[in-house]
Amino acid sequence: MAENRQHDDSATGHRSTVRSLLRLWPYARGVRRKLAVSVTAAVLAMMSVLAVPIVLGRIVDGPLADHDLAGLWPLAGLLLLLGLIEAALFYTRRVVLARPLAGLETAMRSDLFAKLQRLPVSFHERWGSGQLLSRATADMYTMRLFLAFPLVFLIVNSVMFLAGTAVMFTQDWRLALIVVLPAAPLFVLTRRFESGYSGASRRAQDQNGDLATVVEESILGIRILKAFGRHRSMAERFTAQSHLLRRTELRKAGLLANLWAVIVGLPELALGCALAVGAYLVAHDELSAGTLVAFLSTALALRWPVESLGWLLAYANEAATATDRFFEVMDEPEPADPGTATDLGPTADGIRFTGVHFRYPDAPDGTPDLLRGIDLHIRSGETMALVGATGSGKTTLTALLPRLYEATAGTITLDGRDIRELPRERLRELVAVAFEEPTLFSATVRENVLMGAPGAGDDRLRAALATAQAGFVEKLPAGVDTEVGEQGLSLSGGQRQRLALARAVVGDPAFLVLDDPLSALDVHTEALVEAALREVLGSTTALVVAHRPSTVLLADRVAVLADGRIEAVGTHQELLRSSAHYRELMSGEAAFAPEAALISEGGTTR
């Protein structure tokens, strides 16, 4: 993640703000008419503002110069009317855009969330959750606000500046030149500001994502932090990340302050010079007082378009950075899913791994594959236990079956059908999974379990809970409708594991993958779950990762994984006699005597 951010920082100097913002057009296209109405209303409101100095000039040169009170009232009424028109047009601009832009933000957020669901597990392993969270929240708000305000005012203020400049030249070209003269240095300054601010903006948004990750991890891991008394170290980490973000934000503020000092100071200096020259011209009868008042009023009306330039440029860069961050995720290639088959092959062949290789995308060059030529056949209706040392690739092998990862080489078939020929959605209907680390969501027990079979009724729900020996659910405050809290932290580890097991079996899957599903259970509960699980395993084809003899005994046969290959396959008793590695795995000892093997089988020695 850090490498990605460093690359992005270096790229901001060459990034075009306009090109980045144009990527929003596919989303903005749907609200283009509303945007056009909003811009038109804002332009008309600004034109009414520019009309005010002209009316003021006529008042000074007309009724005031002639002491004509009767002639003053129509012009005063016109000023009031212009003010009302401006207010109505600005109200229209706000109302017209509010609902469409809220819908646009919702659509973008929905697309981002859907994209995150489609991206492979390997993508999520590379990205911090806080980075993705900040893209789905703060960045969305930044982009929507840009379309609502800065985009509109960049257009409106540009039109107003050009129109106002034209009006000033019609009033007096000499004074107009004085006022417009600072435009050239301002243009150069804003270009330099943009290049520096883009990099600072990108760093700030990435650091904000890192900060969100720290907060999320500290909340989810609050039990560990408290248990080990590490809350202070996490607080120090949070403080360090906060100070890093603070320095970047101060850097941004410094850049913006420098720009504002110039864009406010130069026009004020030019206006003061124009006033002095104008007063001289009026004193020498080369300019009327009314024209000077009208000119100065027009110049003052243009202060907002000029002074807002810094804010508009800053926000445009913020929005461009947010857009880049949004499309970084949207541009991620999705794994191909060419599968069109709707069902399994014609033969009940079970699960077959043939020459399967796998290595993680970020594995260092020159290192061997994690899995190297896996050949394994799990017959239809059979339960195969998979054992191996820690880090041997057992969990990775099971993750290949539902295509959470894609095999680097080789084929995996279900009843003779290559799993790549099946759409992922259909494949995951056929293959149910229960992981060693159970994940529950902030939802009810019912909703968590029925994720495994959304259309299942209460009968199947109760049967699945019974299989998983999850009778504790009945003692919860609202039974199956009890909210389990974020990550299921209101439950014990064994309770979470039993609900995850119920989720795996509730859909009566054709193929079942269990990754050490009983590791968090006590001996008594384990025995009860095993007894109920035998019934489920009798009607499905299953691959079970096992670390203990009690779990192995659920299986018809056992496969031993070592050095990225299947070293041996056989029944528990056969492997105890023939495989020293298997005996070591089951006993934890390097040498495991046949007499001890009999004990593990429930026999006795003499």
Q: 3-class secondary structure for 497-560?
A: HHHHHHHHHCCCCCEEEEECCCCCCCHHHHHHHHHHHHHHHCCCEEEEECCCHHHHCCCCEEEE
- Domain contains 587: no
> Looking at per-residue confidence, does 572 or 190 come out higher?
572
Q: How far from the centroid of its chain's Cα atoms is residue 272's Cα?
A: 51
Tokens of 211: 């900060």
Q: Is the pLDDT of residue 379 over 90?
A: yes
Same domain as 520, residue 460: yes
Q: Looking at the structure, do residues 490 and 413 belong to the same domain, yes or no?
A: yes
Q: Domain limits at 394? A: 351-570
Domain membership of residue 152 (yes or no) is: yes
Q: What's the average model confidence in pLDDT over 52-69? A: 72
pLDDT band at 484 (very low <50, low <70, confident <90, very high): confident
Q: Residues 6 or more apart from 548 whose CB is under 8 A from it?
A: 518, 519
What CATH code is carried by the domain that includes residue 309?
A: 1.20.1560.10
Residues 306 and 176 reside in one and the same domain: yes
Residue 296 lies in a domain: yes
Q: Work out the average pLDDT over 590-596.
A: 41
Percent of the chain with pLDDT over 90: 14
- In a domain, residue 85? The reply is yes
Determine, yes or no, domain membership for 339. Answer: no
Regarding whether 387 and 265 lie in a shared domain, the answer is no
The pLDDT of 567-575, averaged and rounded, is 92
Give CA–CA dist 367/359, Å, rounded. 9
Instruction: Band the pLDDT of 606: cuts 50, 70, 90.
Output: very low
Higher pLDDT, 451 or 15: 451
Whether residues 318 and 455 share a domain: the answer is no
Answer whether residue 225 shows pLDDT above 80.
no
The pLDDT assigned to 66 comes to 64
Average of pLDDT values for 50-74? 73
Q: Specify if 601 maps to a domain.
A: no
Name the least confident of 49-58, 250-259, 575-584.
49-58
* pLDDT the model gives residue 298: 81
State both tokens at 508: 């009566």
Same domain, 371 and 284: no
Residue 520 has pLDDT above 80, yes or no: no
Q: Which residue has the tokens 């929005």?
A: 319
> First vs last Cα of the chain: how many Å apart?
60
For range 198-214, the mean pLDDT: 83
Output the six-digit token pair for 215.
């907060």
Q: What is the DSSP string of 388-442?
A: E-TTSSHHHHHHHTTTSS--SEEEEEETTEEGGGS-HHHHHHHEEEE-SS----S
* 144 and 279 share one domain: yes
Query: Under a CB-based contact definition with an 8 Å cutoff, are residues 554 and 386 in contact?
Result: no
Write down the pLDDT at residue 68: 67
Percent of the chain with pLDDT over 70: 92
What pLDDT does 1 receive? 41
- Interval 292-345: pLDDT, tens: 888 888 888 887 777 777 778 888 888 898 999 999 999 998 887 777 777 887
Please give the pLDDT value at position 588: 61
431 domain residue, yes or no = yes
Distance CA 491, CA 499 (A): 10
246 token code pair: 């603070």
For residues 231 and 467, the model is more confident at 467
- pTM equals 0.73
Looking at the structure, tell me whether residues 317 and 355 fall in a common domain.
no
Asked if residue 46 belongs to a domain, the reply is yes
Angstrom distance (rounded) from CA 279 to CA 172 = 13
pLDDT at 411: 95
Domain containing residue 397: CATH number: 3.40.50.300
pLDDT-derived band at 223, boundaries 50, 70, 90: low
Nearest to 61 by CA among 275, 310, 288, 348: 288
The count of structural domains within the chain is 2
Query: What is the overall mean pLDDT for the chain?
Result: 82
pLDDT in tens, 120-167: 888 888 888 888 888 888 889 889 888 888 888 888 888 888 888 888
Distance CA 312, CA 304 (A): 11
Residue 449 and residue 302 share a domain:
no
45: Cβ–Cβ under 8 A, 6 or more apart, which residues?
Answer: 85, 86, 89, 90, 93
Task: Classify residue 350 by its DSSP letter.
Answer: -
